[in-house]
Structure 1
Amino acid sequence: MFRNIVIGISGGVDSAISALLLKQRGYNVLGVFMKNWDEFDELGACSGEQDYRDAEYTCQKLGIELRVVNYVKDYWNSVFSSFLDDYQNGLTPNPDILCNKYIKFDLFYKYAREQLKCDAIATGHYAKTSFGNFLEQYNANDGVHLLIPCDKFKDQTFFLSGIQRHALSRTMFPLGDSLKSDVKALAIKCGLARLARKKESTGICFVGNRDFKEFIKEYIHPRPGHFVDIDTGQIVGTHNGIHEWTIGQRCRLASCLRPYFVAQKDVASNTIYVASGHEHPALLNDVICASAPNWLCDDPLNVVGEAANASVTRELRCRFRFQHTKPLVDCVVKKCANNKARVTITLDKPLRALTPGQYAVFYSETVCLGSARIISAWRGERDVAQLAELHVKTELLEHS
């Protein structure tokens, strides 16, 4: 059914082999390189330039045309500005999820479908859809689902959980049934050994190899505040801004013999509450309040006739993770009683360092169901009044 495919060529081995597999199946393939960032690193070299040269190399080897689209301004407005705002407000964002949501599966998708008139797009993500890796079972009347790929270690469905379902229905993931080791072997076999040996990018793309605290100083001014022991209310150190720290991170405080870890951040008072010990109870939570979910399936919490019967509730029993490398945990998702646009997630067991700003991603056994942004997290049995008392103690210390 589909013949003309536009694939995002990043300059890496995964998108290159995805393009090769599409060609081998007889598709008309056009490559597009997305320029999202133009910052030069401390050595005066832009990593994006090397990626572009590798994308050119790939397309020359495969005999496909390569075009370039510039999304630098869009990336800054939709991804990077939000990234900075979140850090200043004490949150820890996930720019990879935002990039897929706003750039690759929105702007790029629309460009490919509307201007290049393609039948579908393709990417080098390790994921699958219920229509098949090459949409060979496509039926416009069937709802598409995002599936866990063959390579569980490389599974990237976590980062795709925020995209729109309509874009997913016209997206191919050629590597869905491939292992990373097989992808590299195929690259060597077909003359793309240079890409197989290329070091994979990890971490936040625009930070690169730089120290995060040094990087963030270029955009957010220091705002000194106190580290406060969450158990005693005593000041145990100072920091240069809540934007430099995330929940669960170790604080190496020179004056303290015990290892402290970030447990909470209070934006209003610019205070970071720290807990002594890696598994301190203050670091473990099992209840989450999250934003309205982006479902990649029919809304499982939608109840027909709900408006007529406010007492009707529905809950979803599924699996949860908030970091893509962590094991899945069983949970129950239901709409918040006081705000139907939000959801409450109750985990079967507490998890360490649940972080506001990150994403709760939901799964069944083989399907990524969607995601919701974490607003807050707490322990079901925690004494909230006691925590509020600690905040008061801290304010008294700061004004003494």
Structure 2
Amino acid sequence: MTETTTPPDTPLPTTSVSHTPGEIWRRVRGLLLAALLLTAAGITFAAFHSGGGHGRLDPRSPDPDGSRAVAELLKDRGVTVDVVTTLDEATGAAGPDTTLLVAAPNALTAYQQNTLLNATQGSSGRTVLVAPGRLSVEVLAPGVRAMSRGPVDPLAPGCALPAARSAGTADMGGFRYHTDMDGAVTCYLADGLPTFLTLPGLDSGDTVLLGSPHLLLNDHLDRQGNASLALQTLGSRPHLVWYLPSPTDPSATEDPGDGAGDSGSDDGTAAEDESAFVDLIPSGWLWGTLQLAFAALLAAIWRSRRLGPLVTERLPVIIRASESTEGRARLYRKADARDRAAATLRSAARNRIAPLVGVSSRDAQAPDVLLPAVSTHLGTSDSDAGALLFGPVPSDDAALVLLTDQLDALEREVRTS
């Protein structure tokens, strides 16, 4: 092997793959601009929506899933509306002239449910439970069972309750309830079970169960008889206390003790826990998470389409083809791989001979096609060419060298004939 020298004035090829500051800036400026725009949009959105609560069923929220519309209508009718977020505030406000609305009864712990029940049972006011599930209804409304949740549809009253008959058809559904309690009024039946249930209490007090919160939402209040039913249900007393359970309420960490509130477990536990968790998340956070996921997807698609064409780089060392061939031959010899070497030599010879005898490259490795063509071209038998092109593995290095010479001779003979 001969050693080549590089002239002194020839620049050495660089092996550095580091990016220059300009290249780095061109790569990241698009991402920085997108991050800046997203940050500005988030600040602007927060500035325009910084006032008031924006949770689901929040009477201060003008969002589609808020309840500000019904709260304002109640105020116009002379009903005072107070929003509370702790159990102590809710139980302290219970009284004969008060309607206590529990917006998320499924989010209450066993201790909170039992404490709330004890406070409301001793008053002659009204308690409205919005979509209580299987576990919460067993504690907050003893004698009632919550069945599976159904769709929300326009339903007819189907009962003699004055408020329901006056409102007419309303968007009801969701949880369906079953009770054998005397004096219970069942309205808005779905599959034969009520989705609006009124239970008698002490004196003139009562408890109302709504299977779905739809009629209280801003986006649904103007449909069917929703507004009428909501106003009559929540406006029967001069004072409305709107209880929005909060996870920061100290009572949420109280020990129920002695199994209080242990109502067992059923298939609906996981679904109720999930529903309660979602109810406590403001709608803005849900939309924000969805927008961030969509932005991440767009960024991934954008980056995958900007990989660019392949870039060729100069090798730091130029290796001759002969040197590469000799290096591979030494590896074969070191591994005593005469079978691999012979197979490589024969395959290369077949590929070169095939077009010379009129055989396509696809059939160059097929003995039944190549050998008859070679024999016809040379005027010899198939066995002579077959032993060279498809024969056994050489037994030693000398046989391998001899095979190489014979393949070269066969190729020269084909070319010259």
Give me the TM-score of the superposition, normalised by structure 2.
0.22
Give me the TM-score of the superposition, normalised by structure 1.
0.22
Structure with greater proportional strand content:
1
Structure with greater proportional helix content:
2
Q: Which has the larger radius of gyration?
A: 2
